[in-house]
Structure 1
Amino acid sequence: MSKEEKNQIELLPIMELGLEQLRFSCKEEYLDFETTATVAPLEGMIGQERAVKAMEFGLHTKKPGYNIFVSGMVGTGKLTYAKQVVHKLAKGQPVPRDWCYVNNFEDSSQPIAISLPAGTGEAFRQDMKELLDNLRNDLPEALSSEDFERKRAAIRKAFQEQQIAKQEALAEKAKALSITIRWSNTGYMLVPLLNGEPVSEEEFDKLDEEQKEIIKANLQAVQELTIAEVRQAQLEEREAKDKIRALVKKVALFVVGNLIEELQEKYRDNPEVIKYLEALKQDVVKNVKDFKRTSSSEEQGQMVMFGKTTREKVEERHAINLLVNNRNCEGAPVIVETNPNYYNLCGRVEYSSRMGVVSTDFTMIKAGAFHLANGGYLIVNAKDVLMNPGVWEAMKRTLKTKKLSIESLGEQYGLIAMASLKPQAIPVDVKVIMLGSPYLYHLMYQYDEDFRKLFKIHADFDVQMDNTSDNIGKLAAFISATVKKEKLREFTRAAVARVIEYTSRLSGSQTKFTARFNQIVDIIYEADSWAAMEGAAIIDADHVRQAIAEKRYRANIYEERIQEMFKEGIYLIDTDGAKVGQVNGLAVMGAGEYAFGKPSRITANTYLGREGVINIERETRMSGASHSKGVLILSSYLGHKYAQNTPLSVTASLTFEQLYDGVDGDSASSAELYAILSSLAELPLRQDLAVTGSVNQKGEIQPIGGVNEKIEGFFEVCKIKGLTGRQGVIIPSRNVKDLQLNEEVVAAVGEGKFHIYAITSVDEGIELLTGVAAGEAGRDDVYPAQSVHGRVIAKLRAYHEAYSDDQDDKDRQDASS
């Protein structure tokens, strides 16, 4: 190229980044304190204004369906905030009513639910226990009193005297017929008389037939009179027993009525309790025999026969199952259910086994989280709800009907059928706060129409927040709050600044801070531990740096192994010189929570053909969808750039050398394009530069992810190979704001040992890599011959002419044959 021609082709201006662009530095003057000891602890959330407003609106809206789904990545503080804000709101709300189950005396399989004012459930249970104790004492005493015994004895005496008189009258009638009646406990016997003396069977046989017939007739007559008298006696005996029972009932009603009357007055404002007391009174009177005193031997006999004593049965029958006791609540309840399986959420009926018999009763009904949260708030994890069988459907049914029934999960799924209780459903008014990932929220919203109706509030917690002076102050307050809560050492101003810079690195942007507070807390804890090991009384910036470095060291074993392979020459890479069709690309690898950059050699070969760009990774099924798309975009760029007038007659093969585990993402598409252009233009590419960035069909360089890890990964390899002062990385200009490089890389840039360039187009990148101008098309759409594009077009035309000549030769051969 002549000197005149070279002057006509000017290189584009390339932006090399300065130190101030490589990372966000939290200036200590932003922080107006010496240590966190003087910083007021943070109250509320940082950087989640949208989610906070959604939560506040959802919590204050009492309409049906305004339950809240709180989404966000792990560590964004959504659970901590949800508990904090809900507890604060709940304290100012009224305490909900207590709930208990009582026996249904008409059908014990369907217990009755009774609600009472908050805190009175325990008093009601105690009142009923005292009532039962009083009944055990007063009823037997009343039924064994002198007055009762006298009245009962009078009834029996009147009956007995009446029977004696009737028996005597009957005996007289029988005697007139020469018959005597002999009574016994088992009945009676008629004996004929002869001359006033009983007739034996032998004597009866000796009598003549006429006498026998007279005796038989008399016996028949007396038999009829006796039978009638016995029937009348039985009827009168039943009447006597009815009188005694009426007497017992009267006494029992008097005793029970006096005892219950006081309770009826106490609970006169609760119709459900009044109704239950009336039913209990009738049941006690009906089963008054259960209240009689029994000896210890009788109780042991009952246990052998029935498994329970009469006393135990009476206690269970008249007990109060206090299901929900809000006596100690301050405001509305807030229940965080960490294991929301079906029974923990909806309650259960338990069973007991005694003497080989499985049984249950209303006293074995246990409350679930919905019962305990009734009138308040229930916080659950969405993933746990969906993973437990039957829970999601039960939750939806409860929220839609506002009633909670305790049922057996086995019966619902047809797994088991056995006699059980059907407790009366309890009305519920619960606001559910469900926590989960954004993916889970959108999945449920898409595939369950009930979810949209029941969870109308979506509080989405972001993983980032803006880098503002206000948020810097709040992060300092957050560190102060953590220090005070966990009783850690205080942080100096410089230490706080380093933590804030670390949050910027975690966010992947200079303009953002991470909102995943668990990662911030980890560094706070670890810095305190390193300060403790050093014996320091306060945490300084060096302790924070050490915590970050040690955290990285614990996780970077795979990175070190890869760097050793670069050092030993197992992984082939050049960090100096220039080569045709070869460029250093950058990728990010992950090992658990740790990510690091790994440079890779990308090569391209071009030759005559019509196959276009061949992606070797795709052909071997090692290419992901995004990477394959990026390679297809290269074909579109080449066609748009160089095939406006002449068709492409080229085949270009691309590959990542020494890649064995697949590749995805389009961040290497610009590097792949440079390799193709280098091969076509026969211009060597600098090996001391690594490239990252995706390219679109128009040749614009687009931003990528993991820019910090990629730069630091190539820098480490350059250190291993030896820093020359020319090495560096080419990144998209739109990624400049994402830079938060470590201090070592920044120092190397400051010393001129490493360089970082930001570009916006393919032309800028190819010029940096080749040192040759990309070239601009003139008015006739012709590029300068010595420019990169001019060289590429010349090679493509040569390929096309060779391909056309070859095709003509084949056509002539076919015609001649």
Structure 2
Amino acid sequence: MTLITGLDHLHTTNTLTLEQLQPCFTSALTTCATQRAPWPSLFPFAQQEVQAFAKLSQPLLTLVSSDWLTSQLFLQHTLADFKPHTAPLYLLDQTAGQAGYFHSELTVEPGRYRKQSKAVQDTINDHLGDHEDGDIHAVAAKRIGFLESASRAQLFGEVYNGADGTLQLKPGALACHLGGILVVQLPALLEDPTLWQDLKRCIESQTISWHDAVCLQPPKSPLPQGRFAAAIKVILVGSREQLAELHHLDPDAAQNASMFTELASEVRANESNMPAIQDFICQIAAPFSVSLDLPFLNALLQHLSQLREHREYIKFNGKYLQRLLGRLCLDETPLTPEKLQQVLRQIRAAMTLPQKYSDESIAEQQIPISLTGNAIGQVNGLSVVELDGHPLEFGEVFRVTAAEYLGDGEVIDVERKADMAGNIHSKSMMIVESYLSQVFAKKHHIPFSANVVFEQSYSHSEGDSASIATYVAVISALSQCPVKQTVAITGAMDQQGHVLAVGGINDKIMALYRTTQVCQLEHKVSVLIPHANLINLNLDSDILAGVAEGKIDIISIGHVSEALDLALTEHQGWQDVYARIKQRFKSLQDDDDETLGSHWDWLTKWFR
């Protein structure tokens, strides 16, 4: 028997229990029931960087975050002790000389310039040049401000004509936060690149110009020339994708960002973090005036963990949590796990039209999926369907078939040949062929080739999660051992035959269980998943009920040989399957040798 790399590290196949299919946070919640910690402590490095930014002279900080609300609450808490080191701010409208903003520790009475004390006039002249007159207005300078959707008027202000014909300026957010910190969401700057260029110029030069403001009407007198000094500190908030787009529009933007930090969109839900997580949930829930008991918090964390697809992490997004709690609080009934599940079903049901059409096509046998009996060279695979413009991804069962014929050991991927597959998919098919050669072609050439088809696949295929299903289908075709159609398989593989983790594992398991319901099956089905995906399991209560009732088994595997043992029939183990294939190869080679020998005998007899 040929040595198969990696078999020394096999783990025992494992039929999973209910405890392995959904995490439980009750213990961590109970342990921390009387404890509270400020939730920004979940991001200590980001806290340190923001606090350092407030103290240093750097004018720009980039904060990578996918959620504006979470960023806003985080910065409000982290900068709670921030105090601008600037004097009160005033605005001088132009009548003569340079108009603009100035700081003064002296007592300034809003009104005419010429009515101010000489000391105040000297301060104004030092800031803005010599003046003869003008109107002075106090500007309500703010410590920290947030612009979620910045326009030019909101950012730089507005210029208009006063009743007496003088230019008037309505300060923008940038002017109102001179000496403070202005937090700007990035998408608004991407919509109007000129807005970013003007803001960048202000940040780099630490000056403001009246020419950046919006003129609501043609000014009756010329706008003041030049720029006046201003202490500007800005925090840009956006996702990685938005930041990459900004760098694409302005390659110099990365160099101008003197400081950088980020907020993760997920956090580990362990006992040490649980007090801070509870603090965050309670802060978001406070406006709704609702009671959050232990069972509800556990169910909520299970849902957030399911969104993250990780048993030890939860999705950390204030906006999503706010919307969900708002939906739950449409009526005044208490928040319970049952109510949460009901609302989540309603939300999902509103987005399942494509999934419904997919299920109907299987029920009507438009797409023939068999979950009964046995078949040679046919395996039920599992995929995740992503539709452009649709928020919901859903799992789907599909057929992988393999047909063998005399050849040279090549595994021909029809999807790739038809230009219907991506690079990752193509790579996975090459790995299947490579491992097949390692097992059977170290001493002799493989005398067969095989075509592999994803049946009724009409869209672009991508990913490597069908690798194990493909390998099982090819081995079934070569050995003529049937595949159990009650088994579905998902998993990637490496060149040693180890089963690797895949994405969307919960959606894929749900797809198989949903198909059994659509087809009204009464017998048990099984799904083989990578052992490495155990950390990602977080299944709905419907599937948990199906497992408890014995309708579906979820089995983890670590090597392709385990998939052969579980998926193929009419054999005595994967060694027997491989032995049959080798015997088939040998029989074909013996036939070739016998044919060649008879031809040689005929030739020697002819020329004797």
Fold equivalence (TM over 0.5): yes
Matched, 1:627 2:436: no
**Residue 32 of structure 1, CA deviation:** 7.0
User: Partner of 2:123 in structure 1?
Assistant: 270
Moved more, 756-765 or 19-28: 19-28
* 1: CA distance, partners of 2:101 / 2:26: 64
Alignment of 1:728-747 (within 5 A): 728-747=526-545
- Deviation of residue 97 (structure 1)? 2.7
Tell me how far 1:724 sits from its aligned partner: 4.5
Of 578, 583, 590, the residue aligned with 1:794 is 583
Which residue does 2:305 correspond to in 1?
Answer: 504
Counterpart of 2:385?
Answer: 589
Question: Per the alignment, do residues 95 and 677 of structure 1 end up closer, same or farther by CA in structure 2, a change over 3 Å counting?
Answer: farther
Aligned residues: 587
Give the structure 2 partner of residue 685 of structure 1: 483
**Aligned counterpart, 2:405:** 607
1:290 corresponds in structure 2 to none
Report the Cα distance in structure 2 between the residues aligned to 1:47 and 1:802, rounded to whole angstroms: 70
Match of 2:440 in 1: 642
Q: Give the alignment partner of residue 97 of structure 1, picking from 89, 100, 111.
A: 89
Cα distance in 2 for residues equivalent to 1:344 and 1:484: 30
Once the 2 structures are TM-superposed, how far is the Cα of residue 450 of structure 1 from its aligned partner? 3.5
Q: 1:465 to 1:81 in 2, by over 3 A?
A: same
Note if 1:577 corresponds to 2:379.
no
| 8 Å contact kept, 1:583–1:602 | yes
CA–CA distance in 2 between the matches of 1:806 and 1:400? 85
Match status 1:18 vs 2:17: yes
Partner SS state of residue 792, structure 1: helix
Please name the residue that 1:52 is paired with. Answer: 47
2:58 is matched with which residue?
64
Distance 1:566 1:556 in 2: 15
| Distance in 1 (alpha carbons) for counterparts of 2:572 and 2:47 | 54
When Rg is computed on C-alpha atoms for both structures, the one with the higher figure is 1
One-letter amino acid of the counterpart of residue 320, structure 1: D
Shift in Å, 1:436: 1.2
Contact 1:24 1:740 in 2 (8 A): yes
- State the alpha-carbon separation in 1 of the partners of residues 339 and 554 from structure 2: 29
Whole-Å Cα distance in 2 between the matches of residues 272 and 82 of structure 1?
37
C-alpha distance in 2, partners of 1:481/1:600?
45
TM-score (norm 2): 0.86
Residues 562 and 490 (structure 1 numbering): CA distance in 2 closer, same or farther, change over 3 Å?
same
Tell me how far 1:677 sits from its aligned partner.
0.9
2:550 corresponding residue in structure 1: 752
- Within the candidate set 215, 218, 242, 1:440 is matched to 242
The amino acid that maps onto 2:322 is V
Provide the C-alpha distance between the structure 1 equivalents of 2:233 and 2:598, rounded to a whole number of angstroms: 82
Candidates 349, 352, 356, aligned match of 1:556: 352
Match of 1:73 among 66, 69, 73: 66
In structure 2, the residue matched to 1:199 is none
Q: 1:339 to 1:793 in 2, by over 3 A?
A: same
Secondary structure of 2:310's partner? coil
Residue by residue over 1:128-187, the C-alpha shift from the partner in whole angstroms, topping out at 9 and shown as x without a partner, is: 4xx6xxxxxxxxxxxxxxxxxxxxxxxxxxxxxxxxxxxxxxxxxxxxxxxxxxxxxxxx
Which amino acid in structure 2 is aligned with residue 560 of structure 1?
K
- Structure-2 separation of matches of 1:518 and 1:807: 75
Query: Secondary structure at 1:57's aligned position in 2?
Result: helix
Q: 2:228 — aligned with what?
A: 426
Counterpart secondary structure, 1:462: coil
- Residue number in structure 2 paired with 1:381: 185
**Which residue matches 2:78?**
85
Q: CA separation in 2, counterparts of 1:408 and 1:434?
A: 19
- Kindly indicate whether the alpha-carbon contact (under 8 Å) linking 1:708 and 1:741 is maintained by their aligned counterparts in 2: yes
Counterparts of 1:666-677 in structure 2, within 5 Å, are 666-677=464-475
Shift of 1:676: 0.7
Q: Which one-letter code corresponds to 1:789 in the other structure?
A: Y
Report deviation, 1:800.
6.3
How high is the TM-score relative to the length of structure 1? 0.65
Match among 137, 150, 162 for residue 340 of structure 1:
150
Q: Distance in 2 between matches of 1:792 and 1:76?
A: 61
The yes-or-no answer on 1:761 pairing with 2:565 is: no
Contact 1:21 1:739 in 2 (8 A): yes
Residue of structure 1 in register with 2:196 after alignment: 392
Structure 2 segments unaligned to the other structure (5+ residues): 1-9, 601-608
Letter in 1 for 2:529: I
Matched, 1:320 2:135: yes
Is contact 2:284–2:322 with CA below 8 Å preserved after alignment? yes
1:17 to partner: Cα distance:
1.2
Residue deviations 1:611-641 (CA, integer Å, cap 9, x gap): 8222222222221222122112212222222
> In the superposition, relative to structure 1, how do residues 428 and 799 fare at CA in structure 2: closer, same or farther (>3 Å)?
farther
Q: CA deviation at 1:435?
A: 1.1
**Kindly tell me: are residues 264 and 58 of structure 1, through their superposed partners in 2, closer, same or farther at Cα, counting changes over 3 Å?**
closer
- The match for 1:458 is 260
Matched residue SS, 1:98: strand
Shift of 1:425: 1.2
User: Residue 335 and residue 491 in structure 1: after superposition, are their counterparts in 2 closer, same or farther (change >3 A)?
Assistant: closer
Q: Does 1:115 align with 2:102?
A: yes
Partner of 1:659: 457
8 Å contact 1:608–1:651 — kept in the other structure? Answer: yes
Distance, in Å, in 2 between the alignment partners of 1:506 and 1:648 is: 45
The answer to whether the aligner puts 1:30 opposite 2:29 as a matched pair is yes
Displacement of 1:50 = 3.6
- Cα distance between partner residues in 2 of 1:547 and 1:636: 48
Q: Aligned pair 1:491/2:292, yes or no?
A: yes
Pairing 1:86-235 to 2, within 5 Å after superposition: 86=79, 88-91=80-83, 94=86, 96-104=88-96, 111-113=98-100, 115-117=102-104, 123-124=109-110, 126-128=111-113
Structure 2 letter corresponding to 1:369: A
Q: Is the 8 A contact 1:340 1:391 kept in 2?
A: no
Task: Give the direction of change, closer, same or farther, for the CA distance of 1:24–1:375 in structure 2 (3 Å limit).
Answer: same
Q: Contact 1:47–1:466 (CA<8 Å) still a contact in 2?
A: no
SS of 2:74's equivalent? helix
The more displaced of 24-33 and 613-622 is 24-33
CA contact (8 A) 1:362 1:421 kept: no
- Call closer, same or farther: CA 1:649–1:72 in 2, change over 3 Å: farther
Distance in 2, Cα, partners of 1:801 & 1:56 = 79
Aligned to 2:171: 367
Give the CA deviation at 1:104. 2.5
The letter of the residue matching 2:308 is S
What code does the residue aligned with 1:68 have? L
Equivalent-residue separation in structure 2 for 1:601 and 1:649 (angstroms):
26
- In 1, Cα distance between equivalents of 2:409 and 2:245: 42
| Deviation per residue, 1:373-425 (Å, 9 max, x gap) | 211112112232133142222222222222222336999xxxx9x99424341
Identity %: 21
Q: Any idea what the Cα deviations from partners look like across 1:746-795, whole Å, max 9, x if unmatched?
A: 222223321111111111111110154555xxxxxxxx5xx222223334
Whole-angstrom CA distance in 1 between matches of 2:45 and 2:127: 51
For residue 667 of structure 1, report the CA deviation from its aligned partner.
0.7
Matched letter for residue 337 of structure 1: L
Equivalent position of 1:617 in the other structure: 415
1:506/1:806 CA distance change after superposition, 3 Å:
farther
Native 8 Å contact 2:526 2:553 kept in 1: yes
Q: CA RMSD in A?
A: 3.7
Matching of residue 707 in structure 1 with residue 560 in structure 2: no
Alpha-carbon distance in structure 2 between the residues aligned to 1:57 and 1:792: 67
SS at match of 2:371: coil
